[in-house]
Amino acid sequence: MTAIWGIVNATPDSFSDGGRYADADAAIAHGLRLRANGADVLDVGGESTRPGAERVPAAEEQRRVLPVIERLAAEGIPISIDTLNASTALAAVRAGARIVNDVSGGLADPDMLAAVAGSGADIALGHWRGPSSDMYARAEYTRIGREVAEELRERISAAGAAGIAPARIIVDPGVGFAKAGAQNWDLLRELADVVALGPRVLVGTSRKRFLASALGDDAGEARKDLATAVTSALAARAGAWAVRVHDVATTRDALAVLSAWDG
């Protein structure tokens, strides 16, 4: 069955739950709850990548995430570090992370791919067209699935050239990153283009702004989590290897229902 990545935001300003788990103990407790609810991987982040977010110094990012990673990894839980910084990626791997989740696909930090290559960790390469502060300025597509796949193919090639074996590469179409409104729905409908690239595919729709076009702008967290579970199940059916979510339990149930349906 499709793997579930549970989101642990050790930040004061993430778009959905910013500040809720900024304290290390709160983040650790949250991660343990997500694991108990069925998370296969915990994705720990210390810098918000919400639209308009400003960058955080690497030292502050590491202060936020390393104690969380060390404790959760000590419990035997597979950990991913959600970061744009090579130095944070290396520190996180030393602390126990097994995967580096770089939403920029190695474009934000020119040292990222080489750093991950030497670390032995897997890497998730996100589709990205620039920093969060102005990501929507580049949201222009003719056929989004094909264009995202081609740009991810370039990142796969760059990762390979840096010494990262194909088996260590994951790709993420970057729902919500440099994609506005209906473009995200188009991308999900055309997910086959990304799956056809070959590497494992990670899809993250959780609580993202584009869901409002289906639910309405006043939808609360519970309704967004239900919509996330539905889109995650549909992504799984389209070939996603893993989905990244805030609410693990709802998505776990949706994937279980999909599995039963498919027999």
Task: Name every residue whose Cβ is closer than 8 Å to that of residue 263 and which is 6 or more positions away in sequence.
Answer: none
Q: Is the pLDDT of residue 35 over 60?
A: yes
Q: Rounded to an integer, what distance in angstroms lies between the CA atom of residue 186 and that of residue 176?
A: 12
Q: What domains can you pick out in the chain, each with its CATH number?
A: 3-262 (3.20.20.20)
pLDDT in tens, 78-117: 999 999 999 999 999 999 999 999 999 999 999 999 999 9
Q: Which residues are catalytic?
A: 208, 244
Nearest to 133 by CA among 61, 12, 50, 207: 50
Tell the residue number behind the tokens 């893993």, with chain if given. Answer: 242
Residue 90 or 50, more confident: 90
Q: Is residue 107 within 8 Å of 86, Cβ to Cβ?
A: no
Per-residue confidence (pLDDT) for residue 134, from 0 to 100: 73
Q: Is the pLDDT of residue 14 over 60?
A: no
SS3 content of the chain, % helix, strand, coil (to 5): 50, 15, 35
Instruction: Report residue 191 as tokens.
Output: 């997910």
Per-residue confidence (pLDDT) for residue 200, from 0 to 100: 98
Per-residue confidence (pLDDT) for residue 118, from 0 to 100: 97
pLDDT in tens, 225-259: 999 999 999 999 999 999 999 999 999 999 999 99
Per-residue confidence (pLDDT) for residue 138, from 0 to 100: 84
Q: Percent of the chain scored above 90 by pLDDT?
A: 81
DSSP H helical ranges for 11-162? 24-36, 58-74, 86-95, 112-119, 144-161
Q: Is residue 88 within 8 Å of 65, Cβ to Cβ?
A: yes
Category of 110 on φ-ψ map: left (φ > 0), alpha (ψ -120 to 50) or beta: alpha
Q: Is the pLDDT of residue 19 over 80?
A: no
- What confidence tier does 210 reach under pLDDT thresholds 50, 70, 90? very high
